[in-house]
Amino acid sequence: MRVLVTGSNGLLGTRLLAVLLQRPQVAVLAASRGPCTNRYLGEFPYFPLDITDSAQVARLVAAVAPDVVVHTAALTDVDRCEREPERAWLVNVRATEWVAEACARQGALLVHLSSEYVFDGQAGPYAETDPPRPLSVYGRTKLASEQIVAQRCARWIVARTTVLFGYAPGTRGNFVLWLLDRLARGERTRVVVDQVGSPTLADNLAEMLLALIEGGGQGIYHTVGASRLSRYEFARLAAAVFGLDTQLIEPVTTRELGQVAPRPLRAGLLTRRLEAEFPSVPVLTARAALERLRDQLAAVGQQVALRPTS
């Protein structure tokens, strides 16, 4: 099985490569912007790719002839999407359309990453069958990309996730690494108390995606961690797991924080379909996921790991 991962230099892309490289029956192909940043994982073909160039996308998929494309590349900065809607639409919608068309020509399975931001956060947690109603530009681009994938591909999976965290050298920082870095330096940190979601360890998400691919998944799945809690509660749990001072974490409301893009407040995703169809795949609680991350960081040296790259 030949699996092409777009956005392979990112956190999820890197952790997914690590999982795929453990499968001897999988030929791993990686594509991302710029030079490859995760050669430490092992040997695999790497292709520089600008997903906003439709011709590049078409040529690459035709040339490498994958059986599966896992499309992780996206513009996920929610506030930047709000400020730059044209860029968000190009990267998240048009580029996905080109990937979907290339997969359709190839007959490849397309696994597309989406988000809980397709919901309005009025009545979470949400199942796959609940009607989406995005509040932000980012959420609207992800919903539009989901619809394109379903329309253009005969074989497709949409994996919705949220509050992704984890560690991979050379990748951008994320909420947990940012938090741990500040707390380790004794800095007081404000965290929103009224945004509820389902924190997801990138390694666990990679395991879920592999289960969907190997198990013949089709359609929309919610692929998130098992716990549903506020960012503030999650931050305090992370501090406790890492032995840092929880008193440095100060609660703040979304209104007080003044974020550019509207957020779904009472969100979170249900994983009942995933667990029913793929009962062997682990769905980690927030504590178990944080403990797994703690062990990973200890293995590489905490002082290095607690400083996310910009």
Q: What is the CATH number of the domain that holds 36?
A: 3.40.50.720
CA atoms within 13 A on the CB side of 215: 19
Structural domain includes residue 235 = no
Rg (CA), the chain: 19
Answer positive or negative: Cα dihedral of 79, 190, 268, 70.
positive
Predicted confidence band at 300 (pLDDT cuts at 50, 70, 90)? confident
Structural domain includes residue 125 = yes
101 is in which domain, residue-wise? 2-165+200-226+268-284
Q: What is the structure's pLDDT at 305?
A: 43
Residue type, 185: R
How many domains, in total, are found in the chain? 1
pTM of the model: 0.94
Q: What is the structure's pLDDT at 159?
A: 98
Structural domain includes residue 149 = yes
Q: How far apart are CA 246 and CA 222, in angstroms?
A: 30
Answer positive or negative: Cα dihedral of 278, 279, 280, 283.
positive
Q: What is the structure's pLDDT at 173?
A: 81
Predicted confidence band at 277 (pLDDT cuts at 50, 70, 90)? very high
Q: What is the structure's pLDDT at 309?
A: 36
Report the SS3 class of residue 36: coil
> How remote is the C-alpha of 187 from its chain's centroid?
27
State yes or no: pLDDT of 61 exceeds 80: yes
C-alpha dist (Å) from residue 283 to 55, 276, 293: 38, 12, 15
Span 50-74, average pLDDT: 97
**DSSP-H helix ranges across 185-268:** 202-214, 231-241, 254-257
- Where are any strands of DSSP class E within 177-307? 189-192, 196-197, 200-201, 219-222, 229-230, 249-252
Quote the Cα angle for 232-197-252, to 5°: 30
Structural domain includes residue 135 = yes
Answer positive or negative: Cα dihedral of 226, 147, 65, 52.
negative
Structural domain includes residue 49 = yes
Q: Is 138 a catalytic residue?
A: yes
**pLDDT tens column, 78-134:** 999 999 999 999 999 999 999 999 999 999 999 999 999 999 999 999 999 999 999
Residue type, 250: E
Catalytic residue among 138, 167, 221, 232: 138
State yes or no: pLDDT of 175 exceeds 70: yes
The percentage of residues in the chain with a pLDDT greater than 70, rounded to a whole number, is: 97
Q: What is the structure's pLDDT at 302?
A: 52
Q: How far apart are CA 40 and CA 31, in angstroms?
A: 16
Range 241-270 burial, b when 16+ CB lie within 10 A, else e: bbebeeebbebbeeeeeeeebbbbbbbbbb
Structural domain includes residue 143 = yes
Q: How far apart are CA 148 and CA 95, in angstroms?
A: 11
Structural domain includes residue 27 = yes
Q: How many distinct helices (H) and strands (E) make up the chain?
A: 13, 13
Locate tokens 């790991």: which residue?
305
Q: How far apart are CA 130 and CA 142, in angstroms?
A: 16
Structural domain includes residue 88 = yes
Answer positive or negative: Cα dihedral of 255, 260, 262, 266.
negative
Decide if 123 contacts 92 (C-beta within 8 A).
no
Report the SS3 class of residue 41: helix
State yes or no: pLDDT of 31 exceeds 90: yes
Span 161-184, average pLDDT: 92
